[in-house]
């Protein structure tokens, strides 16, 4: 499991726990029979403005914490390897030249027919990266393999009846 | 901003207007509930097949997946909330006038026609392009479906799209009508009054009454947005239909993807926003106090009406082909997507604090609404992950997404529909609800099982399990067996819903007792314990069963046929023929004996490969062909090779 997956699980568990505690608190607050007061309703409406500010601040914080981590505009540099891969219902046409670990690889991905998605996993099932492959366009993705070995390639965009069989293996050498 | 008195809507009085709203909402609700039943069963079949219990052949799997997706999302969710919207309008004091009635009728017929067409093309003609049918997949049926099936499927979706447009026009006509009490005669001014701008600028958007009822705002917002969202898709669908006759008419795939999601994002809010209108209407009733919403909520809706139609690019975060501006669009889309969550955050605040310290009624309706609010909150949080580019790269097209949107649609939105059904169905038919107790069982079971079902998917997905795989690859099938009993029980729980509806309509209803938390607290706690216990017991039993089924089916798959009419090299020709179709070989290869006409790989009739070559290629792959050595057993590969050899006239070099 990747680092981001761990962050996501922590994020989900923490926020869901908070949501659950809040929800139970609201439910418990209805236990006693009360006389409704307009003053209380009015106060709760006023507090909504504070909540609005909290939400905006939280969203801006999450935005700045994450927006700089996009896969866009990466370059393999001058010593990078260019690897052309083509997707077709229901196979990956892979290069015969070996891919080297340690140096950046620029994958140039195209499709002969429909939309596919090029996803590379370790043998243990950990997702390293995925990127969409569209007919009529070249999609680039830059990745540096840390270790030599065999990696699994899956198609992650539904592409027809044998979508689940559109798998291949990528060999990375030292 | 000036603070106004709480807005309490005055419902339409008894009479023709109210009666019409009842009858039209009832028709939509019954049709959509029938579709829910059918789509739910399809969903259970899919999940169980994916988990290895009752494997469905791949071609059928994806056809059922397409029917389930469109059926549950559009045929149930959208159809139901569209119907409830008419009634919410009546409860807010807005009559449907003559033009609105035409639109309401047109919508019903277009929707029924669209759903019928989808069911026929998917379940009879195996259209399996998935419910988003990303262009150009409908033109690449791999021998499973042809151009006419694609034509009629596209036409059916177009009908459903037109149903959305007629509904929007009808809702807009109703919202800006005389009931709004807007001072201005200018339709644009009246529209902005109907989405609550009078709360921000009372002079410019003046009304004679207290202001627009809160429940009308989300309906008027989505009615404008869905017209903007649907028209480009309708044009694209028409181009696809034309393509059937004029092959030169095509669409650019990148434009097609953007147009699809230009519609595909707002259509989610076609479900959510009317569900919010239902929450705005029913929660204050159950709490016995006006909605705790101030002018600030109008800001949320002002953001929503704009942002909703410009955030589509978050669906294509991992598409950024060279030489296009898609990457920039995607980056802009993240803050815009964040902004559209503000209205949910404010609405959840308003609804939860309307309940807070109130004399909330914990009957079926109150319980369903409350559990729905929690699910909306929870699914909204996991939605933040999908909205963030850095995180989306990890969860995109994994089962995490499937878990997220099932929680949102089935519970966050579904519980608004279910609550509305329990609250208003009795009123529509003028009878009492059959059983409130049965209703609460239904609601609690649906909540616990539905949540569990989503958690399993999210757990598998966050570990990398791909979505839309007929078979979950072995790395991630750990929790699969658990999904079988959960989905079966989830479907069975809906029988309680169906029975309650039928008995209510038949007039077998009881006198409903409305209870407070104090009275129900011990019962609720006891029930929660019992329900959890039953769920765990079912899960454990089902897990054992699922394991058993998985093992026996694996054995059945490898067992050679008892009587072997023709064999080559230890492979059975007849079994090979079945396998050839089931494994989708025809997607790539032409072989007359199997009725296959694929053109991606070599034509087996002309190639006529020898037995040993077939075994080698199937096992190890070669060229563009993937290896099947892992998916098929050695016996299955021999069967296939035997069939190919026998039917293509290839040489038997098996030496046996």
pLDDT tens profile B623-646: 667 778 777 888 888 888 888 888
Give B23-57 pLDDT, tens digit per residue: 999 999 999 999 999 999 999 999 999 988 889 99
A53-88 as b/e: b if 16+ CB within 10 A: eebeeebeebbeebeeebbeeeebeeeebebebbbb
- Average pLDDT of chain B? 90
pLDDT exceeds 90 at position B110: yes
Tell me which chain A residue has its CA closest to the CA of residue B463. A1
Q: Which residues of A touch B140 (CB under 8 A)?
A: 89, 113-114, 160
On chain A, the residues whose CB falls within 8 A of the CB of B463 are 1, 5, 125
What pLDDT, on the 0 to 100 scale, is given for residue B534? Answer: 77
**pLDDT given for residue B646 in this prediction:** 85
Which residue in A96, A162, A155 sits closest to A131, CA to CA?
Answer: A155
Residue of chain A minimizing CA distance to B326:
A72
Residue with tokens 């990528």: A170
Q: Does residue B626 fall inside a structural domain?
A: yes
pLDDT band (50, 70, 90) for residue B597? confident
Residue of B563 and B253 predicted with greater confidence: B253
B575: pLDDT strictly greater than 90: no
The pair of structure tokens assigned to B372 is 């729905």
pLDDT in tens, A17-72: 999 999 999 999 998 877 778 888 889 999 999 999 999 999 999 999 999 999 99
pLDDT of residue B466: 96
Range in A85-89, A154-158, B161-165, B604-608 the model is least confident about: B604-608
Q: Provide the shortest C-alpha distance from residue A73 to chain B (in Å).
A: 8
Other CB atoms within 10 Å distance of the CB of residue B106: 17
Candidates B140, B297, B341; nearest CB to A113: B140
B583: in domain: yes
Chain A interface test: which of B464, B518, B600, B601 (most A C-beta within 10 Å): B464
Cα B470 from chain centroid?
18
How confident is residue B1, by pLDDT bands cut at 50, 70 and 90? very low
**Angle, vertex CA B517, rays to CA B525 and CA B412, nearest 5:** 75
pLDDT at residue B100 is higher than 50: yes
pLDDT of residue B576: 85
Higher pLDDT, B547 or B181: B181
Least confident of A26-40, B225-239, B468-482, B617-631: B617-631
pLDDT score recorded for residue B479: 87
Residues comprising chain B, all counted: 656
Q: Tell whether A48 is within 8 A of chain B (Cβ).
A: yes
**pLDDT over 90 (residue B594):** no
pLDDT in tens, B69-96: 999 999 999 999 999 999 999 999 999 9
The two tokens of residue B558 are 């490898």
For residue B599, what pLDDT is reported?
Answer: 65
| A19 interfaces chain B, CB cutoff of 8 Å | yes
Identify which has the larger pLDDT, B11 or B558: B11
- Chain B residue with minimal CA distance to A1? B463
What are the E-state strand segments in B313-429?
A: none
Percent of chain B's residues with pLDDT above 70: 92
Q: What share of chain B is helix, strand, coil (3-state, %, to 5)?
A: 70, 0, 30
What does the pLDDT average to over B507-514? 69
Strand A91-93 to strand B590-591: parallel, antiparallel, or no bridges (unpaired)? unpaired
- In chain B, the number of structural domains is 1
Judge: B623–A40 Cβ closer than 8 Å, yes or no. no
- What is the rounded CA–CA span in Å between residue B450 and residue B214? 30
Of A31, A136, A165, the CB nearest to B518: A31
Average pLDDT over residues B330-342: 97
pLDDT at B488 over 80: yes
Q: What is the pLDDT of residue B327?
A: 97
Question: Buried b vs exposed e over B36-69: b needs ≥16 C-beta within 10 Å?
Answer: bebbbebbbbbbbbbbbbebbbbbbbbbbbbbbb
Q: How far is A174 from chain B (nearest CA, A)?
A: 24
Please choose, from the candidates B628, B637, B618, the residue with its C-alpha nearest in 3D space to the C-alpha of residue B568.
Answer: B637
Mean pLDDT of B87-114: 97
pLDDT value, residue A88: 94
Average pLDDT over residues A136-162: 96
pLDDT at B581: 76
Q: Is the dihedral of CA B190, B191, B192, B193 positive or negative?
A: positive
B464 vs A120: CA distance, rounded Å: 10
Closest among B33, B27, B25, B32 to B495, alpha carbons compared: B33
Residue B595 inside a domain? The answer is yes
**Rounded mean pLDDT, B591-608:** 78
Q: Which residues of B touch A132 (CB under 8 A)?
A: 316, 318-319
- Asked whether the predicted pLDDT for residue B356 surpasses 60, the reply is yes
Per-position DSSP letters for B171-196, written without gaps between them: HHHHHTSGGG-BS---HHHHHHHHTT
Q: What are phi and psi of B396, to 5 degrees?
A: -55, 130
CB distance A125–B396 less than 8 Å?
A: no
DSSP letter at B252 equals: -
pLDDT of B385 > 70? The answer is yes
Question: What pLDDT score does B647 carry?
Answer: 85
Query: What CATH number has the domain bearing residue B594?
Result: 1.10.760.10
Residues of B in contact with A52 (CB under 8 A): 296, 299-300, 342, 345-346
Strands A81-88 and B571-572, sheet pairing? unpaired
Residue B633 lies in a domain: yes
**Distance from C-alpha of A77 to C-alpha of B454, rounded to nearest angstrom:** 42
Q: Is residue B564 predicted with pLDDT exceeding 50?
A: no
Is the domain spanning A81-173 CATH 2.60.40.420? The answer is yes
What are the DSSP calls for B2-58, one per residue? Answer: ---PPP---PPPTTHHHHHHHHHHHHHHHHHHHHHHHHHHHHHHHHHHHTTSSPPPH
pLDDT of B560: 39
The DSSP result for B131-187, as a single string, is: TT--TTGGG--TTTS-HHHHHHHHHHHHHHHHHHHHHHHHHHHHHTSGGG-BS---H
Mean pLDDT of B119-134: 97
Task: Confirm whether B592 is domain-assigned.
Answer: yes
Q: What is the mean pLDDT of residues B309-314?
A: 97
> b/e for A27-48, b at 16 or more Cβ within 10 A?
bebbeeeeeeeeebbeebbeeb
- pLDDT given at position B609: 86
Say what the pLDDT of residue B548 is: 59
Residue B163 · residue B226 · CB < 8 Å: no
Tokens of B178: 């005389």
How far apart are the C-alpha atoms of B289 and A38, rounded to whole Å?
Answer: 9
> pLDDT at residue B378 above 80?
yes
Rounded to a whole number of angstroms, the distance from the CA of B104 to the nearest CA of chain A is: 35
Domain-by-domain residue ranges, chain A? 3-66, 81-173
Inform me whether the pLDDT recorded for A154 exceeds 50.
yes
What is the 8-class DSSP label of residue A85? E
Domain with B590 in it: 567-648
pLDDT for B477 equals 85
Burial of residue B13, with CB atoms counted within 10 A of its CB: 0-12 exposed, 13-18 middle, 19 or more buried: exposed
Mutate to test the interface with B, among A70, A85, A133 (most CBs of B within 10 A): A70
Which two structure tokens, joined as six digits, stand for B311? 């955030």
Question: What tokens appear for B587 in the block?
Answer: 């997607």
From the CB of residue A120, how many other CB atoms can be counted at a distance below 10 Å?
Answer: 21
Nearest to B21 by CA among B89, B99, B79: B89
Spatial distance between the Cα atoms of B533 and B448, rounded to a whole number of angstroms? 11
Give mean pLDDT, residues B191-207: 95
């Amino acid at each position: 499991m990747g680092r981001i997956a761990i962050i996501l699980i922590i994020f989900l568990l923490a926020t869901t726990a908070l949501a659950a505690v809040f929800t139970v608190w609201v439910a418990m607050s209805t236990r006693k029979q009360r006389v409704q007061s307009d003053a209380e309703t009015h106060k709760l409406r006023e507090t909504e403005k504070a909540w609005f500010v909290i939400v905006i601040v939280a969203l801006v914080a999450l935005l700045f914490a994450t927006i700089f981590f996009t896969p866009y505009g990466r370059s393999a540099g001058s010593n990078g390897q260019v690897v052309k891969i083509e997707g077709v219902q229901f196979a990956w046409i892979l290069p015969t030249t070996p891919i080297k670990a340690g140096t950046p690889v620029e994958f140039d991905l195209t499709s002969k027919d429909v939309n596919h998605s090029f996803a590379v996993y370790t043998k243990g099932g950990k997702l390293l990266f995925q990127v969409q492959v569209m007919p009529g366009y070249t999609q680039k993705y830059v990745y540096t393999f840390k270790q030599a070995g065999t990696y699994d390639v899956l198609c992650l965009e539904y592409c027809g009846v044998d979508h689940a069989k559109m798998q291949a293996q990528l060999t990375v050498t030292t | 901003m000036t603070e106004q008195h709480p807005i309490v809507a005055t419902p339409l009085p008894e009479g023709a207007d109210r009666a019409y709203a009842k009858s039209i909402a009832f028709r939509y609700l019954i049709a959509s509930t029938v579709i829910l039943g059918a789509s739910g069963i399809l969903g259970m079949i899919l999940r169980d097949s994916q988990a290895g219990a009752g494997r469905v052949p791949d071609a059928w799997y994806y056809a059922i997946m397409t029917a389930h997706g469109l059926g549950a999302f559009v045929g149930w969710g959208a159809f139901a909330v569209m119907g409830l919207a008419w009634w919410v309008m009546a409860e807010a004091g807005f009559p449907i006038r003559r033009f609105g009635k035409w639109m309401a009728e047109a919508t019903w017929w277009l929707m029924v026609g669209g759903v019928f067409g989808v069911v026929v093309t998917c379940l009879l003609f195996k259209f399996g392009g998935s419910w988003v049918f990303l262009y150009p997949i409908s033109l690449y049926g791999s021998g499973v479906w042809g151009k006419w099936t694609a034509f009629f499927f596209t036409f059916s979706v177009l009908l459903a799209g037109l149903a959305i447009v007629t509904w929007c026009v009808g809702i807009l006509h109703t919202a800006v009508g005389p009931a709004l009490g807007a001072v201005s005669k200018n339709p644009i001014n009246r529209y902005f009054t109907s989405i609550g701008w009078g709360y921000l600028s009372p002079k410019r958007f003046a009304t004679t009454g207290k202001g627009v009822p809160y429940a009308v705002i989300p309906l008027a917002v989505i009615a404008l947005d869905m017209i903007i969202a649907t028209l480009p898709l309708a044009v694209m669908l028409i181009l696809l239909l034309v393509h059937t006759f004029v092959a030169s008419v095509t669409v650019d795939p990148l434009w097609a993807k953007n147009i699809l999601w230009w519609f595909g994002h707002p259509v989610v809010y076609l479900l959510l926003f009317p569900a919010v209108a239902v929450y705005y209407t029913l929660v204050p009733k159950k709490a016995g106090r006006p909605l705790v919403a101030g002018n600030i909520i109008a800001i949320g809706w002002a953001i929503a009406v704009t942002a909703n139609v410009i955030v589509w690019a978050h669906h294509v975060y991992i598409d950024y082909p060279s030489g296009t501006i898609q990457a920039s669009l995607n980056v802009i889309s993240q803050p815009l997507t964040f902004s559209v969550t503000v209205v949910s955050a404010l609405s959840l605040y308003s609804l939860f604090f309307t309940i807070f310290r109130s004399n909330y009624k914990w009957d079926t309706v109150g319980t369903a609404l409350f559990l729905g609010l929690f699910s909306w909150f929870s699914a909204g949080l996991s939605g933040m992950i999908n909205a963030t580019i850095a995180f989306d790269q990890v969860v995109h097209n994994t089962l995490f997404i499937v878990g997220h949107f099932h929680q949102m649609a089935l519970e966050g939105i579904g519980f608004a529909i279910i609550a509305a059904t329990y609250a208003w169905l009795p009123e529509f038919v003028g009878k009492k609800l059959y059983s409130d107790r049965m209703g609460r069982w239904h609601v609690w079971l649906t909540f616990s099982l539905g949540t569990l079902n989503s958690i399993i998917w999210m757990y598998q997905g966050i570990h990398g399990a791909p979505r839309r795989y007929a078979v979950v690859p072995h790395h991630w099938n750990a929790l699969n067996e658990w999904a079988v009993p959960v989905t079966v029980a989830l479907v069975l729980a809906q029988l309680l819903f169906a029975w309650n509806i039928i008995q209510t309509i038949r007039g077998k209803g009881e006198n409903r007792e409305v209870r407070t938390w104090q009275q129900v607290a011990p019962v609720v706690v006891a029930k929660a314990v019992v329900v959890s216990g039953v769920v765990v017991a079912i899960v454990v039993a089902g897990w054992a069963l699922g394991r058993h089924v998985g093992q026996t089916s694996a054995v059945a798959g490898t067992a050679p046929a008892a009587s072997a009419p023709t064999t080559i090299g230890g492979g059975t020709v007849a079994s090979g023929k079945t396998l050839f179709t089931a494994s989708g070989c025809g997607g790539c290869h032409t072989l007359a004996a199997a009725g296959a006409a694929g053109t991606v790989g070599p034509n087996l009739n002309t190639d006529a490969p020898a037995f040993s070559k077939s075994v080698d290629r199937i096992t190890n792959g070669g060229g563009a062909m993937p290896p099947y050595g892992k998916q098929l057993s050695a016996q299955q590969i021999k069967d296939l090779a035997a069939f190919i050899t026998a039917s293509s006239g290839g040489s038997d070099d098996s030496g046996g």
